[in-house]
Each structure stands twice: as C-alpha cells, then as structure tokens.
Amino acid sequence: MLTRTALLMCTVLAILSVGVWHYANTSADYSYDRLLSSASVTMLDGINVDKNQVHIDLPYSAFEILQLAPEDKIYYGIYGPNGHLLSGYSDLPLEPSMTERAADQPRYELHTYKGQKVRFIVRHKRLSERSVAGNVTVILGQTTIARDTQMRDTLYAALTTLMAVMAIALLVLWLAINRALTPLSWLSSQLVSQSPLENGQLPATKIMEVAPLTQAINNYRQQWLDALAVMRDFIADASHQIRTAQATTKAQLEIALSSQSEKIDRSVVEAIYQDHTKLTRLTNQLLVHATIVHRGDRQEFIPLDIPVILQEVITHAVRDYAHTDIEFEYVAAHEKVAILGDEIVLKEALRNVIDNAVAHGSTGNAATHGLIRISLKASGPNCQLWVEDNGPGIPEEQRQRALERFVKVGSNTQGSGLGLAIAQTAAISHHGQLMLSQSELGGLAVCFLLPRLTEASNASLNS
C-alpha cells in the first residue's frame, strides 16, 4: 500500500519537476529579458537624427542596466534604415529583419556566439525625419550566466520544497494508515488468541469505530454457539435413544440365545421384531428430522398445490395401512389452495402426523374403528391442514411438551417421540405453526397453519 503510494508520489514528483523546470526557465527568461528589454530601449533613446544623419550617442545607463547580471558579457549591433551596420559587432549571428515594424513586440532569440549561449533581443525604432526615414534596429545580446544561475536556483529551491512536501505527505499517510489499521490489528489479534468455540465475548474497546464490529462479531458468535448447543443436545439425545433401542434389541437377542430350549419362543422373536421396528423407525425419523432441518435452513421453496400433495400423501397412507381397519376421511377445501414450500418436507411432516394418528388413534378402543380425518380449509391469508383422530388424544397440559423432541406423552410407548417435533419444525420452516387441540372425533387434532400463496406474492415471486 505504502510502496504503491510512494511510487505514485514519485510519478507525481517527476511530472511536477518537469513543470517546475519549465517554470524556472520561464521565470528566469522573464526576469533577464526585462533587463535586455530596458537596456535596448535605453540604447534606442540615444539614436536620433542629427544633421540629416543617424546620430548615435548611447547613454551610459544602457549598459549599466545590464550590470545587474554582473558576470555576463554583452554584444550589440546598431543597424540603420537600410540594414547597414552603424555600430557594434559586425558578426552577430542574427540580422535585423526589414519586414518587421517598429510597433512590433521585440523579438528574443537564443544563439551560440563566440562559443557561448547568448540571448538576443531585436528592437526597432522608427525614425521619421525628412532626411532619414525608416527603422533603426538595435540587436543586443547578453550571455546567460546569471539567467542560468537563477534558473538553477529556482529549480533547486522548488524541487527541494516539493520533495519535502512529498516526504511529509508520505509520512503523514504512513502514520494515518497505521493508525487507521490499528483497531483491525487489535481485533485480529484478539480473534486469533481466542478459540471460536469458547463462550467468551471480545473485550470492550475504546476505539469507537470498532465497537459495532466487535458487537457484530460477538452476536454472530453467540448465535453460532447457540446453534451448536442445540446440535449437541440433539446428538446427545439421538445417541441416547438409539443406544437404548439397540441395548433393548441386544438384550432380547441374548435372552433368546440363552434359552435352554432348542426352539425359540415365538413371543421372544415377536419382541425382537417390535424393538427392531422401533429402532428402524427411530433411525428413519432422525434422518427425516435432519433432512427437514437442513432443507428448512436452505429455504428453496416453490409454489405447491396443497390438494395434490394431500392426495398423494393420503394415497400412500391408505396403501400403507390397508392391512389395518383404519378409515381415512378427506375433507377438501372449497377453493384452490397453494402455498410456497418444500414438497418433500411437507410430505414428510404430514406422513409423520398421519403415522402418529394411526399409531395412537385407535389404541385400546377395539369397539370402534380407527378414524382419521384429513381436512383442508382456506381462511383468509392462511390455510389450515387438519389431521384428526378418534383416539384418546393428549391432555391439554401435556400438548406443549408433546411437541418437544423425544418426549412421549400418555400411553405412547411405541413412538420415537419425534413425529410431532418433525411436524412442528416443518411448519415453522414454512413460516407457519403447528397447533394441537381436542378433536371433534374425540382424539388429537393436529393443525398446520400455513401462509397461503396469494396472487400478489405469486406475482412478486415470478418477477
């Protein structure tokens, strides 16, 4: 950063140097051209017409003016109206031009004369006597020692100043950058020294500019730690559940193996089968739960036609439970119902709730057939998806707990305790909620309350 700035400044310096050189040159020329100019004017003052001739009587002051450049040599020529040399040096490197007029600005030229640089001025004066009419010309030259010295002095002074300014600017920049980056260095050192999994806040900083950043980092880390805690709990719970189920199966198998009889008691196999079924179900549900949580996080929603999904889910359920005597009842909505959602998540959630209803619906009530009513209602911006059964239901005070993971309520001994948790996670990931209540049928009523896809939100989605 600083290197690039230094390079940039060097470039700027180079460009400015050219400018300064030009300026020094111009100003030196300007100063010493004025000397030449006034000296030449003074010389012309001494040129007049006397007795029908050009009369030259150069004032002493003409050359005294040029003393201001004390080291420099002087060359001059005075030319009459016909261009003939009247006085001065005959071998000057330039000549008066006959076409120039006296009113013209004097002309300045740089020549090499007698092996040195000489700056010349050419100036005219109109003589308009009857006898002598025309321009007399003075060409006055001066070597450039003083001029070059002044140019160098100006150049060096300006360059020195320029470089000092640049150096100071660079220093200030360096300090400013360092100062500006100090909080970030501090922050990074703090972050490096801490483990991200430690539940520690960054120390409060006095640097105002960084406070929001530390706050944001703290927040971010807290959320991360919270999510991690949830995950840890879940893994702990899940492993406990799976181990328990495995231990039970293993115990049953050991009992079967340790039997004295050559034949295995069918009831033992039955028990092992039950335990294995439970384990399979648990594993499945854990995977489903993980899938739902994962998909819910990604939120890749598409418009879904709810009745179509319901029909598919019910079709499956009817087929799955064809060997039981459970009846399914479907109450369709009066209008078209669509939501934004994830088909897989939604189907899994419904299947779990239906499984739940099947599992608990008709238990211990052999007199009546199990009945499961699935109904869809549209109510304003939301739709309600009801799954009801005619089982014993869940007492009101236990309903909230029933939504937690691995919690089994009432007479439930077969379930994993995950079914309703899965349903709730799905409902929440669809920006809805899951409600439990007492069904008209006598059992539990599970209601998904989901926001409907309206025309407006559909339009905004498509655009």
Partner 1 sequence: MHRLIVSLISFFFVANLFANDTVLRIYSATDISAIRPMLHEFESLYPDVPVLYREFNTIELFDELLNPSLPAPDVVISSAADLQVKLVNDGFAQPVYDVPDVSPNQPWAQWSNELFGFTYEPIVFVYNKEAFKNTAIPHTHEALAEQLREKAAFYQDRIGTYDAGSSGLGYLVASQDEVTFSLTGRLQESLGRAKASIHCCSSILLTRLSTGDLVFGYNLLGSYAMAKATNNEHIGVIVPEDYTLAILRSAFVHKNATRPELAAAFIRYLRSPAGQITIATKTALMPLNRQLGSHNDPEQQLQKSTNFHPIRLGPELLLYLDQHKKAQFLNSWSLAMRP
Residues that bind partner 1 (CB under 8 A): 55-58, 60, 62-64, 66-67, 70-75, 86-88, 114-115, 145
CB of 88 to partner 1, least distance (A): 7
CB of 60 to partner 1, least distance (A): 5
Q: Residue 48: is it exposed, middle or buried by C-beta count within 10 angstroms (0-12/13-18/19+)?
A: middle
CB of 5 to partner 1, least distance (A): 45
Q: Are 81 and 127 in contact (CB under 8 A)?
A: yes
Q: Cα angle at 73 between 88 and 58, to 5 degrees? A: 40
Of the pair 112, 460, the CB lying nearest partner 1 is at 112
Of the pair 6, 56, the CB lying nearest partner 1 is at 56
Q: Are 425 and 442 in contact (CB under 8 A)?
A: no
Report how far residue 178's alpha carbon sits from residue 402's, in angstroms, rounded to the nearest whole number: 59
Handedness of CA 60, 66, 72, 73 (dihedral sign): negative
Of the pair 20, 58, the CB lying nearest partner 1 is at 58
Q: Which helix (H) or strand (E) holds 220?
A: helix 211-258
Q: In what order do the strands lie in the sheet with 444-451?
A: 327-331, 371-379, 382-389, 444-451, 433-438
CB of 24 to partner 1, least distance (A): 23
Of the pair 68, 293, the CB lying nearest partner 1 is at 68
Of the pair 110, 187, the CB lying nearest partner 1 is at 110
State the amino acid at position 105 in one-letter form.
Q
Q: Cα angle at 25 between 20 and 31, to 5 degrees? A: 120
Of the pair 77, 391, the CB lying nearest partner 1 is at 77
CB of 90 to partner 1, least distance (A): 11
CB of 175 to partner 1, least distance (A): 47
CB of 154 to partner 1, least distance (A): 22
Residue 107: strand, helix, or coil: strand
CB of 14 to partner 1, least distance (A): 34
Per the listing, tokens 């640089």 go with 117
Of the pair 30, 60, the CB lying nearest partner 1 is at 60
Residue 124's beta-bridge partner residues?
137
Report how far residue 388's alpha carbon sits from residue 372's, in angstroms, rounded to the nearest whole number: 6
Q: Per 3-state DSSP, what percentage of the chain is helix, strand, and coil (rounded to 5)?
A: 55, 20, 25
Of the pair 68, 162, the CB lying nearest partner 1 is at 68
- Tally of CB atoms within 10 A around 428: 12
DSSP state of 134: E
Report how far residue 121's alpha carbon sits from residue 110's, in angstroms, rounded to the nearest whole number: 9
DSSP state of 368: S
CB of 58 to partner 1, least distance (A): 5
CB of 50 to partner 1, least distance (A): 10
Of the pair 59, 381, the CB lying nearest partner 1 is at 59
CB of 33 to partner 1, least distance (A): 17
DSSP state of 208: G
Of the pair 13, 110, the CB lying nearest partner 1 is at 110
Residue 111's beta-bridge partner residues?
118
Report helix angle 343-361 to 419-429, nearest 10. Answer: 150
Residue 269: strand, helix, or coil: helix
Of the pair 32, 75, the CB lying nearest partner 1 is at 75
